[in-house]
Amino acid sequence: MSGREILETRLGYLEAAMKYIEDTLNEVLVRRTRLHEVLGREQEAIDELGRIGTTVREELKRDRGEFSELKSDVLKTSLRVLDDRIKQAKAASDEVRTLVEPVKFDQQDALEKALRVECGKLRGEVRKLRARMDRGEGLHDVWQSYSTAVVDAAERIYDDYVAFIAGLAMRDANIARDVSAASDLLLAKIPGQDRALTVPARSVACNLPGLVRMGFPEWTVWGVPLIGREAGTSFFQHSEAVAVRQLLDPPLEPEEELLAADAVAAYIIGPAYARAMFTLRLRPDAPGEGTPSDVQRAEVILAVLELCSHKDGQSRFPDHVAELATLWDSLLEEFHLSPRPESRPPLAEKIYDALVTARIRGIRAISWEDVQTCAKQLRTGGRLPPLEKPSDLVVILLNAGWIARKDLRPDSVGEIAERMMKHLKPDNTARATERRSDQPLTTKPPRGQR
User: Tens-digit pLDDT profile for the chain (450 aa)?
Assistant: 677 788 888 888 788 877 877 777 777 666 666 666 666 777 777 777 778 778 777 776 776 555 555 566 766 777 777 777 777 777 766 655 554 554 455 666 666 777 778 888 888 888 888 888 888 888 888 888 888 777 777 777 767 766 666 666 666 655 556 777 788 888 878 876 666 667 666 655 555 556 676 766 667 889 899 888 878 877 877 777 788 888 887 888 888 888 999 999 999 999 999 999 999 888 888 876 667 889 999 999 999 999 998 765 556 788 899 999 999 999 999 999 999 988 889 999 999 999 999 888 888 888 788 888 889 889 888 887 655 555 588 899 999 999 999 888 877 888 898 889 888 875 543 333 333 333 333 333 333 443
| Cα–Cα dist 200/215, whole Å | 7
How far are the Cα atoms of 37, 99, 101, 206, 359 from residue 171, in angstroms, in the given order? 22, 9, 10, 18, 34
The secondary structure element, H or E, covering residue 111 is helix 105-134
Among the listed residues 108, 293, 100, 263, the one whose alpha carbon sits nearest the alpha carbon of residue 184: 108
Q: What is the dihedral of CA 348, 350, 351, 355, to 10 degrees?
A: 130
Going by C-alpha positions, the residue among 443, 442, 444, 435 that lies closest to residue 389 is 435
Note the pLDDT of residue 38: 64
- Where are the domains positioned within the chain? 3-168, 223-450
Q: Which helix (H) or strand (E) holds 289?
A: none
Give the separation between CA 192 and CA 244, rounded to whole angstroms: 13
441 half-sphere exposure, CB direction, 13 A CA radius: 24
Note the helical H segments in 196-316. Answer: 227-235, 242-247, 254-269, 271-276, 294-308
Q: Is 257 exposed, middle or buried (0-12, 13-18, 19+ CB in 10 A)?
A: middle
The SS3 call for residue 98 is helix
**End-to-end CA gap in the chain:** 85
Question: Who contacts 431 (Cβ-Cβ below 8 Å, separation ≥6)?
Answer: 386
Residue 200 pairs in a beta bridge with: 214
How many CA atoms lie within 13 Å of 406's alpha carbon, on the beta-carbon side?
Answer: 14
pLDDT at 434: 31
CB atoms within 10 A of CB 212: 27
Please give the C-alpha separations between residue 207 and each of 90, 161, 267, 371, in angstroms, as whole numbers.
40, 10, 25, 35
State residue 444's pLDDT score.
37
Instruction: Please confirm whether the linkage preceding 217 is cis (ω < 30° from 0).
Output: yes
CB 203 within 8 A of CB 213: yes
